[in-house]
Amino acid sequence: MTSSHTVALRPAVKTEPIPPHIVEEIETFEAEAHRVLAGDLSTDIFKPFRLQYGIYGQRQPGVQMFRIKIPFGGLTANQVRRVAELADQFATGVGHVTTRQDIQLHFVELKHVPEMMRLLAAVGLTTREACANTVRNVTACHLAGVCQGEVFDVTPYAKTVAYHLLRNPLNQSLPRKFKIALSGCRQDCALTPIHDIGLLAAKRADGTIGFRMVAGGGLGSTPRMAQVLREFTPMEELLPSIEAVIKVFDTLGNRKNRNKARMKFVIEKLGFDEFKRRWEAAYAAMGYAVPTHEPITLLEYADAPPLIMPTKASVASGGNGNGNGNGNGHASAGGSFSGQETAFQAWKRTNVVPQRQAGFATAAIKLPMGDLTAAQMWVVADLAERYSNGNIRTTINQNMVIRWIPESRLEAFHDELVAHSLGDPGAELVEDIIACPGTDTCGLGITSSKGMARALAEVFPAGQVPEDLRDVSVKISGCHNSCAQHHIATIGLHGVGKRLGEHTAPHYELHLGGHVDGTPKIGQLAVKLPAKSVPAAVRHLVDVYRRDRTTGESLQSFIGRVGKHVLKDELIPYTFVPPYEQDPTYYYDWEGEAEFVLEDLGPGECAGGALEMIDDRMLEADQELYQAKLLVEKHQYALSVNKSYRAVLAAAKGLLVTEGLDPATDADTFQEFDQRLASKGIVPTSYANLGAQVGDLGSKDATAEEATEKMAFAKRFLAVCRAATEQMGKDLKLAQVKEEVLPTPTPSAAPAASVSTAPVYDLRGVACPMNYVKTKLKLEMMDNGERLEVWLDAGEPIRNVPMSLRNDGHKILEEGPLEPEATHFKILVEKVEE
């Protein structure tokens, strides 16, 4: 695709001086990137620092994904031109709009990243905190301010929240990523129920505006819908209400298990009432009155009419018509598809939304799976200035929209889009399939979600999808992490692998009936399909719907009425996979050039696994302390205090692994460290009551002296912990350590006579390697020759623990099932001292 705008005719990008603190921030990144490139700094140490700056590793070695953070999806034409320059000069010439309204550039070399950051900063954009365990991009409906059904424009509030939290000490080292979204109308275009904090526009009877706040939503491998935390949040209480939620999450979030670290798991563990009580306490501790929870009626007002969408008839007459909007508040196939439509009529029917401001419309530009070229970015920027006010918004469905286009100019606008391959109909509808990058670039991707999306395009051809599928959504994720939000799609797919003999075939798990509008619902997992059969299976699903539906019944309602079991029976024929010798194409992913494979790491050895856990914790401590030092040097004292605190916690958790513990919260870590290690003299008495000594995260007004003091304390503590672990081998024994004194090994106990009884140690439900560590600790309290009966789960525990104990020199006398079902096993081990 070649733009008619030559480089010579392109307007120059307008820039502003970069604020000094951002200049310093970028220089810090640049210095560390140079150290990595020179081989003076390990990539492991650099990784969390890199992520904090929004730079993500790719599946391909040696290149990065560069994620630009775009609060509420709002961009100026000038900013889009700068992104186009970066894509052309430093990346592949293509930008990717994400489901969080960011723009990503792929295949970027690390050496170019600092210069790209400077170029972005000069137009008011950043990559900061677009990745890592931070508050990610704050999203909002792209129709905010022009939607006919909105209570008020949420844009300024989304912007305020986003920039309040950006570079905030509270937001630097959360247990896991944290997501916030704002919606302005009852259709909830921003999908608030699937966010850690969702804010839905509300209005009191007296006209006061505010937000209905929900908390604890999220997708991934264990999807959860958010619950109501505050029925009405006044505007003056918005920021403290959000901060209080983040503080509770930061304190109680699970830092042991990344897969259990999101806020939804905090709520699940505490119960929502207790979570709300702790949130109220955190809110009050900030100096505010106890928040109210007054009930209100949400978004049901006579002055908020339903969206009015054009129908086929009204397109011809130029009127607004009375068609209906789809569940996302966007233009829909309001009026039956007709083969006699012109290209412009089809595009207007599906891509154009009349604004609440008479005479103006918003036009959606459909980007196939969120991708557009640098040349197309220049075109979009130019069109935004010539047909509108120079502003563009990205959407959570991976498109762009231009608002405030005079209705009289829509046809000319469409003609220019078509000239640059941007005029496809069907934006934000079923044919606009959502797909994450998958195996194209993502290191976590299992399947080619983009390849699957292109295959399904034949099932849902753009602009030709019948009226009965107008409210259907299709979303495809390349793994269970749900970056494409497959759990809330009418038809959702996520990639998995399935081993069949000596080969592995790419598969997709099919989820049906998910949605957020109305009463939110997670899609039901119906069946696992080989990738090659997915298009045929989806086509058959649509055929079954049309065959068995009741009059006027939508596919969403049909799925709910019929149920997944009936539909699974219909789809079973599509689940079969022939042997590789019969048809090897089933063992290739869509658009794949080589046979599909999954890395198989196999079972781990327990002692090695425990040591790896300790090493990981100590590495994390080193990483945090490293960042604390950098932040002090760059005068970012509050953030440095946060990092010193995290360094102490990580080191303490490293030592606690030797006690068979991996605490889930900060409070538990301090308590267990005092009881298990400090009280035994493993560390000097100066580190007793560790939690009180290290303090909290500090304030935004921390001084240089405070930051330096915290960092010095952390450095001393890490040295002690490192001395305790360096002498430790597979025995996992810690010697007492004195500061600046090398540890000496603890002598072994004298042998004792064996006994014939065997106490039972029930470790069912305890995963590797902690089951091994606990068994080892138990044996250490026994005499040579004593026996211990250990109960273990099937799978990795019964495979790994006996092998690891043998490696330690102990005797395994018996192994066998604990019950007839063989879901649990027992071993009889005899202690043998060297």
Q: Which active-site residues does the annotation give?
A: 768
- Residue 821: partners with Cβ closer than 8 Å, 6 or more residues away: none
CB atoms within 10 A of CB 317: 10
Q: What are phi and psi of 251, to 5 degrees?
A: -80, -40
Nearest partner of 158 among 71, 226, 238, 76, judged by Cα = 71
Kindly provide the b/e burial profile for residues 563-586, where b requires at least 16 CB atoms within 10 angstroms of the residue's own CB. Answer: ebeebbebbeebeebeebeeeeeb
Residue 31 CA to residue 23 CA, distance in Å, equals: 12
Nearest in space to 244 (alpha carbons), one of 209, 201, 208, 213: 213
CB 375 within 8 A of CB 2: yes
Instruction: Using DSSP bridges, classify how beta strands 787-793 and 760-762 pair: parallel, antiparallel or unpaired.
Output: parallel
**Exposure of 103 by Cβ count < 10 A (0-12 exposed, 13-18 middle, 19+ buried)?**
buried
Q: Is the peptide bond before 425 cis (omega within 30 degrees of 0)?
A: no
Retrieve residue 181's tokens. 């979204």
Cis before 769? omega within 30: yes
b (16+ CB within 10 A) / e for 132-158: bbbbbbbbbbbbbbbbbbbbbbbbebb
Phi first, then psi, for residue 235 (nearest 5°) are: -60, -35
SS3 448: coil
Residue 554: φ, ψ to 5°: -80, 165
The strand pairing partners of 309, in sequence order, are: 323
Nearby residues of 303 by Cβ (< 8 Å), 6 or more positions away: none
SS3 334: coil
- Measured in whole angstroms, the distance separating CA 411 from the mean position of its chain's CA atoms is 39
Question: Distance between CA 344 and CA 414 in Å, rounded?
Answer: 7
Tokens of 391: 């502003």
